[in-house]
A and B are shown apart, each in its own frame.
Chain A
Amino acid sequence: MTDAGPGHDSEGLWRALAPQTLARLLHTYGSSQFGVCEDAVQDALLEAYVRWPASPPDDPQAWLTAAARRRYIDRVRSDRRRRDREERVALLAAPLSHDGLQSDDTLLLLQLCCHPALSRSGQVALTLRAVAGLSTQQIANAYQVPEATIAQRITRAKRRLAELGGAFTRPAGVDERMAPVLDVLYVMFTEAHHTTSGAPAHDTDLAAESIRLVRLLRAGAPESTEVAGLLALMLLTEARHPARTGAGGRLVPLDEQDRRLWDRTAVEEGLALLDAVVPGAEPGPYLLQACIAGVHAHAPDTESTDWDEVHALYTVLEHATGGRNPMITLNRIVAASMVHGPEDALALLDDLADSHPRLARLDAVRAHLLERTGRTDEAAAAYRRAIAATVNVAEQHHLRDRLRALGPEL
């Protein structure tokens, strides 16, 4: 429906209204009715598309909600005619309360779409469809899979939500409620970076969508420092985007980036967010990663980066995540190499390789450290292993460049 707004310049309004309307219906009729509610909202949007140009409503949100409720009732009634009357009668008896806009509504919608019982690909597809308001075609293009595949994922996810029905209980703590949502949005964001570095440009900017969704989430849960942390992390990461791609679409890693190309507006918003929430905050994983990105954002280049601080933050992050994420340990070792030198870091890397022999990027880090110690033969062998191990084309190109730079005889 995103392509069919009531006017060409109102796509933003259109996409803001649809999830709010869906959230209101879910509030009224319950999460087990996700599929019917979403269909009803789509019907109402279509009706608006036809009718608004001639008679624009005073309050578009109220108009859409009323229309969607009518459509919902129509659908349930016709459904009821087909099915067992007794089984369905309770649906219309649900209380029609909460007409005022709840800031919590978007959060509820996101929590449903990111329900832990759904597959990760189902969570992502449903969130982009129902909250971000993308069409299945746009989602399919973004992930380079057929539209039918995305449509099927959404159908399955909605069916699963219906099966779960009343089993969805809202956890009490705000961070507990938020954790699965943050993870889904972060996956969406990091995958966007993979596609922008490894694949051709697509119409749909998933990184921008992820940031938009975290902004929505922050409006609904302003007290959560982890939401603020994720937003800051995304802004500070996305700010580097103009400097990440070099000649011929090559990946430029952080230590080689021309930081003058970074998006200053995004950097400043990210840093301001950190200044506002960090004092006294519980050090959660996203806030800590944002703080690390913040240290990099403060430095004009790799040399002048406060690596002691980066190392300390990774150590805290490792504890905060219970040492379960070997990628964090790998990053801590990279920081350690900047503080204590590459030899010490290589010893740490051997320990990590013993427990995680197939860890992504381990050989790339090893190659880089060996290069710094002057062991070029070993570095070349490690670069070759790293090239074979990565499935990211841009990273492969980058590693081949580094291998070539070691010398022609290798």
Chain B
Amino acid sequence: MKYLILMHIDPAVLENLTEEQQQLIGEGHSQFMATTKENGEFIATQALGDPSRSKVVRSNGERPEVTDGPFVEAKEFMGGFYLLDVEDEARALELAAQIPDASIPGLALEVRPVVFSDLGDG
């Protein structure tokens, strides 16, 4: 069963982290990737650029129209994700709790089931 763990981040929270905390987060993510790869549960992870770089393509009723991102004013936004293949939801939640963001107030992880996958021809 595949789950996407979305990392909801808040730039204000990240700015206020100490040097030591930032290093712990970096090491925590490296450790998390190593563990899930070792377990045969890891599929992919991506970290996303700042939402100020986002563009939105949406129909204006007649044709697709490009505008600036919707999250520019938002405090929290999606910073990246982990895609995992695990036994069940309980395991996905257990793993999400191991991501360092889960221990920092103001950050959050959203765990959602995947209903369709195509990873290309491998």
Are B85 and A143 in contact, with the CB atoms below 8 A? yes
Q: Provide 14 A-B residue pairs closer than 8 Å at the C-beta atoms, listed in order of the A residue.
A: A137-B122, A140-B122, A144-B117, A144-B119, A145-B119, A149-B37, A149-B42, A149-B43, A149-B85, A152-B37, A152-B39, A198-B115, A391-B1, A391-B115
C-alpha gap A119/B87 in the complex (Å): 8
- Mark B residues whose CB is within 8 Å of A: 1-2, 37-44, 85, 87, 113-119, 121-122
Identify which of B40, B85, B115, B121 contacts A396 (C-beta below 8 A): B115
Question: Which chain A residues border B116 with CB–CB below 8 Å?
Answer: 198-199, 393
Question: Which chain B residues border A120 with CB–CB below 8 Å?
Answer: 87
Range, interface on chain A: 20 to 34
Question: Which chain B residues border A393 with CB–CB below 8 Å?
Answer: 115-116
Which A134-169 residues have C-beta < 8 A from chain B? 137, 140-141, 143-150, 152-153, 156
Are B117 and A149 in contact, with the CB atoms below 8 A? no
C-alpha gap A143/B119 in the complex (Å): 10
**What's the least CB distance linking A167 to chain B, in Å?**
22
C-alpha gap A132/B34 in the complex (Å): 30
Q: Which 4 A-B pairs have the closest CB atoms?
A: A153-B40, A152-B40, A144-B117, A391-B113
C-alpha gap A125/B39 in the complex (Å): 13
Are A145 and B39 in contact, with the CB atoms below 8 A? no
Are A199 and B40 in contact, with the CB atoms below 8 A? no
Question: Which chain A residues border B122 with CB–CB below 8 Å?
Answer: 137, 140-141, 146-147
C-alpha gap A125/B85 in the complex (Å): 13
Which A366-410 residues have C-beta < 8 A from chain B? 390-393, 396
Question: Which chain B residues border A143 with CB–CB below 8 Å?
Answer: 85
Given A147-B122, A198-B116, CB of A156 within 8 Å of CB of B39: yes
C-alpha gap A367/B57 in the complex (Å): 37
Are B119 and A146 in contact, with the CB atoms below 8 A? yes
Question: Which chain A residues border B2 with CB–CB below 8 Å?
Answer: 144-145
Given A120-B87, A145-B43, CB of A152 within 8 Å of CB of B38: yes
C-alpha gap A35/B59 in the complex (Å): 56
Whether A200 is near chain B, meaning CB under 8 Å from some CB there, is yes
Given A137-B122, A149-B40, A150-B40, CB of A392 within 8 Å of CB of B117: no
User: What 0/1 readout, one digit per residue, does chain A (152-194) give for beta carbons within 8 Å of chain B?
Assistant: 1100100000000000000000000000000000000000000
Question: Which chain B residues border A198 with CB–CB below 8 Å?
Answer: 115-116
**What's the least CB distance linking B121 to chain A, in Å?**
7
Given A137-B122, A141-B121, A147-B122, CB of A122 within 8 Å of CB of B115: no
Whether A121 is near chain B, meaning CB under 8 Å from some CB there, is yes
Question: Which chain A residues border B121 with CB–CB below 8 Å?
Answer: 141
Are B115 and A148 in contact, with the CB atoms below 8 A? no
C-alpha gap A390/B1 in the complex (Å): 13
C-alpha gap A150/B114 in the complex (Å): 19
Are B115 and A149 in contact, with the CB atoms below 8 A? no
C-alpha gap A153/B43 in the complex (Å): 12
Given A121-B40, A152-B38, A156-B40, CB of A145 within 8 Å of CB of B85: yes
Question: Which chain B residues border A122 with CB–CB below 8 Å?
Answer: 40
Question: Which chain A residues border B42 with CB–CB below 8 Å?
Answer: 149
Pick from B40, B42, B115, B119 the residue with the most CB of A within 10 Å: B40
Question: Which chain A residues border B114 with CB–CB below 8 Å?
Answer: 391
Question: Which chain B residues border A392 with CB–CB below 8 Å?
Answer: 115
Are B118 and A144 in contact, with the CB atoms below 8 A? yes
Inter-chain pairs besides A149-B40, A150-B40, 9 sampled, C-beta below 8 Å: A143-B85, A145-B43, A145-B85, A146-B44, A147-B122, A149-B37, A149-B42, A152-B39, A156-B38
C-alpha gap A62/B42 in the complex (Å): 40
C-alpha gap A231/B1 in the complex (Å): 25
C-alpha gap A137/B121 in the complex (Å): 9
**What's the least CB distance linking A150 to chain B, in Å?**
7
**What's the least CB distance linking A251 to chain B, in Å?**
13
**What's the least CB distance linking A213 to chain B, in Å?**
21
Question: Which chain B residues border A153 with CB–CB below 8 Å?
Answer: 40
Pick from B114, B121, B122 the residue with the most CB of A within 10 Å: B122
C-alpha gap A141/B85 in the complex (Å): 14
Are B117 and A199 in contact, with the CB atoms below 8 A? yes
C-alpha gap A143/B117 in the complex (Å): 9
C-alpha gap A147/B43 in the complex (Å): 10
Are B118 and A200 in contact, with the CB atoms below 8 A? yes
C-alpha gap A392/B113 in the complex (Å): 10
Are B113 and A146 in contact, with the CB atoms below 8 A? no
Question: Which chain B residues border A152 with CB–CB below 8 Å?
Answer: 37-40
